[in-house]
Amino acid sequence: MGILAYDDDEALGRVRAVDTTMVVVNVDDTERLRKLQVNRLAVLQSSRPGQHLIGIIQKITRTAIDAKNGTTEGSDDEILEQNSVRISLIGTLVDKVGDKVNVFLRTLETVPEIDAYCFSLEGKRLTDFMRVVANIAGDGQKLSLGHYTLDENAEAYLNGNKFFQRHAVIVGSTGSGKSWTTARVLEQVAALSNASALVFDIHGEYSPMRGPGIKHFRIAGPGDLDAGATLDNGVIFIPYWLLGYEAMTSMFVDRSDQNAPNQAMVMSRAVVNAKRKYLTDGGHSEVLANFTVDSPIPFSLDEVITELNGLNVEMVAGAKTGTEKQGEFHGKLSRLIQRLENKRTDRRLGFLFQGNVETMEYEWLERLVLALVAGTKDQTDGTGGVKVIDFSEVPADILPLIVSLIAKLVFAVQQWTVSERRHPVALFCDEAHLYIPESRSSGAAGDISVEIFERIAKEGRKYGAGLVVISQRPSEVNRTVLSQCNNLIAMRLTNGDDQAVVRRLLPDSLGGFGDLLPVLDTGEALVVGDASLLPTRIRVMEPTQRPNSGTVDFWERWGEDKHVRGHLEAVEGWRRQSVQGLPV
Ligand SMILES: Nc1ncnc2c1ncn2[C@@H]1O[C@H](COP(=O)(O)OP(=O)(O)OP(=O)(O)O)[C@@H](O)[C@H]1O
Ligand SMILES: [Mg+2]
């Protein structure tokens, strides 16, 4: 027996008008009308037996009609009412498909006929229906978010495969619960036996999340440079030799300089020479034949600078014997050399240029990739499927550069793995508007970052790289990246621009859902997309390990009789550009 069997006398009313996915139903019983609510579900009789059309109530109207103009006879002052409900169809529940019973499909093979009965979906039937939807949604590993607001007894599952395959966005105003929702997802990822996910943690919010499946890293800050910090104690150096040609030119060549094209060309030649020397000296002849300026091969920056210096002062033989004239690049490289020297000694960029000797080893990249990209089972200590990378000490202007370098590393590894041995990896991008910006005003580093994330958004599915874009300002996040995300978790959003962006991500038939965005409770989300068969409002369950959301209780703290003095440490930390190891 199907779960949606109704008696005719339970009907709300009958269908009056049908327009592809919109249905208008006349409701005669005012009592029943009063109990209806927008965004609740309704069931419509289908012309095919064993099928039930499911719709969302979009609009409830009660209109008075003057009886004199109507057809019904009555006394002069009698007012008749025409009560109607507008329903948008979203799917079909089929009682039996093959040997499966109660199957929910997000397609409409039929539309209701005029005069078909319409029923309200509530109570036990709603519970049963939500369970059906949940079970079907979990045909892969089930990802549990919480409970449906419509029915607190029905657990809301997402399809874990689809959630990561076609990317996801989590948006909401500050304090709406994005980080907690992310933590709820992350702890389930961490519990899987061979998970692989990276979290770009911009404010160090996820540091309280501990456990066997979670490992913490941070980008080497100025304080780590002389302390002998290494990957084994969770400090990441990304050596300069991992910069591609684009990143290198954007960093060292001033585009407005009239010699810029020359500088870029000469630098790339010098880098290729230095890489060749490294490969030759190390006896890596198998790589020697095919490497390019972009290949991840260590090289000596000293050699590059020496070569550039040489060209910058070079004199060549003149037309007449015995005379000399300035070489082709004479004096044209001074600014390039100066920029190189400056960057190289900049302690904020120490993670790039001042890594310890091991970062110059040929095998070092393998170690970095194993630590950051590989799944739980490949980790040396068999833990750490989820790698939280703390960027809280990274200066804002170089954040896009670093984040995108890591994203590029992950994507390159996925691309170069033979397909049958590829292990899927997900990138959780918290505060994505900071490094995947919509406007290209953030400078060259921002451009490079956007380019890399656009690529992952467009091609990631094929290479098993999934994005989870998390932001409080969806209107400031790159549109191309957003448009590639097929799963939406939208939490409370108050800003109009941001709402507009999210509305555009909602399917047309669900336009009405967008109106809920500003009125959602903290921790409540609208979930739509590949991973959940039914667009739903979900109350996200609290994660067991809560991120540090950083809410400060002003009034309470001001009222406390406690003396804390962080200011002097702050001054010292500011100078050192690091809060690691400060005297307290
Ligand atoms: N699912 C939830 N259930 C109950 N309370 C929640 C839930 N999610 C969040 N909260 C509350 O809201 C606060 C803020 O949540 P969270 O840190 O996730 O916000 P956020 O959206 O990440 O904000 P920001 O954009 O500023 O990082 C939490 O400290 C917690 O008190
Ligand atoms: Mg947050």
Q: What is the pLDDT of residues 370-384, one digit of tens each?
A: 999 888 888 877 778
| CB of residue 551 inside a 6 A radius of ligand 1 | yes
Strand order in the sheet with 425-429: 155-159, 142-148, 532-540, 524-529, 487-490, 168-171, 465-471, 425-429, 197-201, 386-390, 214-219, 235-236
Domain 8-121 fold is Elongation Factor Tu (Ef-tu); domain 3 (2.40.30)
Of 521, 522, 544, the residue with max ligand 1 atoms within 8 A of its CB, to mutate for a pocket test, comes to 522
Q: Quick one: average pLDDT of 387-413?
A: 91
Query: What residue owns the CA closest to ligand 1's atom 5?
Result: 523
Beta pairing class for 532-540 and 524-529: antiparallel
44 phi/psi in degrees, rounded to 5: -120, 140
| CB of residue 178 inside a 6 A radius of ligand 1 | yes
For residue 140, what pLDDT is reported? 54
- Between 541 and 157, whose confidence is greater? 541
* 135 has a pLDDT exceeding 80: no
Query: What residue owns the CA closest to ligand 1's atom 9?
Result: 177
Q: Per residue in 54-71, pLDDT tens?
A: 998 988 998 876 655 555
**Rg of the Cα trace of the chain?**
30
- Between 4 and 443, whose confidence is greater? 4
Q: How far is the CA of 205 from the centre of ligand 1 (A)?
A: 11
Same fold, 8-121 and 155-237+359-552: no
The pLDDT-based confidence of 209 (bands split at 50, 70, 90) is: very high
Q: What are the structural domain ranges in the chain?
A: 8-121, 155-237+359-552, 245-338
Q: Quick one: average pLDDT of 545-557?
A: 82
Query: What residue owns the CA closest to ligand 1's atom 1?
Result: 523
Task: Please give the span between the terminal C-alpha atoms of the chain, in angstroms, as a whole number.
Answer: 69
Of 144, 145, 179, the residue with max ligand 1 atoms within 8 A of its CB, to mutate for a pocket test, comes to 179
User: What is the chain's mean pLDDT, rounded?
Assistant: 86
Query: What residue owns the CA closest to ligand 1's atom 14?
Result: 175
| CB of residue 472 inside a 6 A radius of ligand 1 | yes
Q: Quick one: average pLDDT of 551-571?
A: 83
For residue 66, what pLDDT is reported? 60
Distance of CA 229 to the CA centre of its chain: 30
Tokens of 353: 């240029």
* 214 has a pLDDT exceeding 70: yes
* 342 has a pLDDT exceeding 60: yes
For residue 543, what pLDDT is reported? 92
* 137 has a pLDDT exceeding 60: no
The CA distance from 94 to 48, in Å, is 10
Of 144, 145, 170, 176, the residue with max ligand 1 atoms within 8 A of its CB, to mutate for a pocket test, comes to 176
Count the neighbouring beta carbons within 10 Å of the beta carbon of residue 70.
13
Query: What residue owns the CA closest to ligand 1's atom 16?
Result: 177
For residue 561, what pLDDT is reported? 85
* 321 has a pLDDT exceeding 50: yes
Q: Quick one: average pLDDT of 176-194?
A: 93
Lowest model confidence (mean pLDDT) among 175-179, 376-380, 539-543? 376-380
- Between 31 and 450, whose confidence is greater? 450
Q: Quick one: average pLDDT of 140-164?
A: 81
Closest ligand to Cα 181: 1
| CB of residue 55 inside a 6 A radius of ligand 1 | no
The CA distance from 170 to 168, in Å, is 7
| CB of residue 548 inside a 6 A radius of ligand 1 | no
* 276 has a pLDDT exceeding 50: yes
For residue 54, what pLDDT is reported? 93
Q: Quick one: average pLDDT of 342-359?
A: 88
Domain 155-237+359-552 fold is Rossmann fold (3.40.50)
For residue 138, what pLDDT is reported? 47
For residue 215, what pLDDT is reported? 92
| pTM listed for this prediction | 0.85
